[in-house]
Amino acid sequence: MADTVAFSGGNVNAGPRLFNPSWPNLSMEVTETPETSLRGVRVAVLNFREPQQSAAGGAEEYAWQVSRYLIAQGALVHFVTGREPGQARAERRNDVELRRMGNRYLVYLLVPLWLLLHRRRFDVVIDSMNGIPFFSPLVVRRRTTVICLVHHVHDRQFHAFLPSWLARIGCFIEGPVARLLYRRRTTITVSESSRTDLRARLRWLAPIQVVPNGSPAARSVTRHPLPGDPAVVYLGRLVGHKRVDRVVGLAAELAESRPGLRVHVVGRGPESDALAAVAAKLGVADRVHLHGFLSEPGKNAVLGSALLNVTASEFEGWGLTVIEAAAFGVPTVAYDVAGLRDSIKDGVTGWLVRDGETLADAVDRAIGELADPVRRAAIQQACRTWAGEFTWGRTGATITRLIATELAVAARRQQPVSAVSSPVRTPDLHLAMGETDPI
């Protein structure tokens, strides 16, 4: 099967579009008549974390928003994930059944075991591969539809943050093992860069569809003057591979050329104390504001009041916070790496670090361009227009159609040859298959 691209953005040009960015802006808050119903279809979403956990990020938001959309189309969804201390093992939230089990290591053992014990309950499994998959094809029934979701390739991340022996094991599982295990399972990824990496670095065999992240519908925000002229912001998890220390370091590197610059860091994670120590060591603690976790209105107020968003990550599948910032007219500076080169239109909605440049050089260049009121207004409008092309409604609708297609193919395979020409309805598919066991 040839690759298909669900939505083209930035430099994504290959393949047919399954939806058009000129369509009306859909969001989870908008009630719409679904194009495809999944009434009664039972779905298990397997994901490393869930959005309320302390280290949750864009991958968790993606899986959760898709789960909510599938619920709205009539599906019955179980979200199976890891468990942080103090969290309940089971919970119902937004009509999604949450099942939590295991720490960051045991989750990869306990989730497949849980799925094995409940395999007759599900028509569809969305297996989110965060470097390590959940091996769902080994434990589900042969006729169960399995869709593999990969945000980005983790091989370099393994080597950057794990002992060499453990990194080699991770790369072996992510590469040869997963490549063969999921070779007949449709794969979803979030950017053309990630699709290219899957083919080139993992030699991925399965058909791949690109379905980008959505973004919350833009809302008016109460802007508050932020300390700094200019004020730049980092929004996201405070974890090692995001290299937030480089964003903090901008306050020192640009102290001479941009003496009024202040850095605002919004987010939570294990690197919080280390970032405070970095700022103190560089002598810029008074120019770096660590806001921690903020409520949605508070976060939006900081983000919408900044001149520039900066991300220093070298491992991204897309860049959810890039689009979130763009919705407020705030451009982003980032490295020219997979994912970020898809979510940023270089020179239009932000800037990518050029060859021979440092992150500080690119930020200084961006601030210089934004000093021109006409140029700044054009970039802000381009950002808002670009962000408007990505909604969770579109993401969910595309995955809904993909699931419906996969289920219809699976149902035809179960029919006698004489009945293959008869259409199979997607709604209540498990009843059509003669199954009535409840979740």
The string of DSSP codes covering 342-402 is HHS-BTTTEEEPPTT--HHHHHHHHHHHHTSHHHHHHHHHHHHHHHTT--HHHHHHHHHHH
Instruction: Kindly indicate the confidence band of residue 395, based on its pLDDT and cuts at 50, 70 and 90.
Output: very high
Indicate if the pLDDT at residue 19 is higher than 70: no
- List the Cα angle 214/137/205 in 5-degree steps: 70
Rounded CA separation 164/116 (Å): 32
Mean pLDDT lowest among 95-99, 334-338, 418-422, 431-435: 431-435
Tokens of residue 229, six digits = 């002229």
User: What's the pTM?
Assistant: 0.80
Instruction: Please determine whether the domains at 4-216+392-432 and 231-387 fall in the same fold group of CATH.
Output: yes
Indicate if the pLDDT at residue 66 is higher than 90: yes
pLDDT of residue 221: 62
pLDDT of residue 27: 36
Looking up tokens 């091996």 gives: 135
**Structurally, what CATH architecture does the domain formed by 231-387 represent?**
3-Layer(aba) Sandwich (3.40)
Rounded CA separation 149/166 (Å): 23
Give the chain's mean pLDDT: 85
As a whole number, mean pLDDT of residues 83-103 equals: 95
- Tens digit of pLDDT for each residue in 279-334? 999 999 999 999 999 988 899 999 999 999 999 998 788 888 999 999 999 999 99
Name the residue ranges covered by the structural domains of the chain. 4-216+392-432, 231-387
Rounded CA separation 395/170 (Å): 29
- Tens digit of pLDDT for each residue in 222-261? 667 788 899 999 999 898 889 999 999 999 999 999 999 9
Beta-carbon contacts of residue 239 (< 8 Å; ≥ 6 apart): 55, 269, 270, 271
Indicate if the pLDDT at residue 365 is higher than 60: yes
Which residue type sits at 340?
Answer: L
Burial of 69 (0-12, 13-18, 19+ CB in 10 A): buried
Whole-Å CA distances, 79 to 82, 111, 128, 343, 432: 10, 11, 11, 27, 24
**Is-contact 90 100, C-beta < 8 A?**
yes
Nearest to 290 by CA among 366, 235, 228: 235
Q: Which CATH superfamily is domain 4-216+392-432 in?
A: Glycogen Phosphorylase B; (3.40.50.2000)
Alpha helices in 88-191 (DSSP H): 107-117, 155-161, 164-172, 178-181
Beta-carbon contacts of residue 270 (< 8 Å; ≥ 6 apart): 55, 238, 239, 240
The CB density around residue 86, as the number of other CB atoms within 10 Å, is 5
As a whole number, mean pLDDT of residues 358-366 equals: 97
| Most confident option among 32-36, 241-245, 366-370 | 366-370
Tokens of residue 393, six digits = 């409604």
- Tens digit of pLDDT for each residue in 100-124? 999 988 999 999 999 999 999 999 9
Q: Output 269 or 2, whichever has higher pLDDT.
A: 269
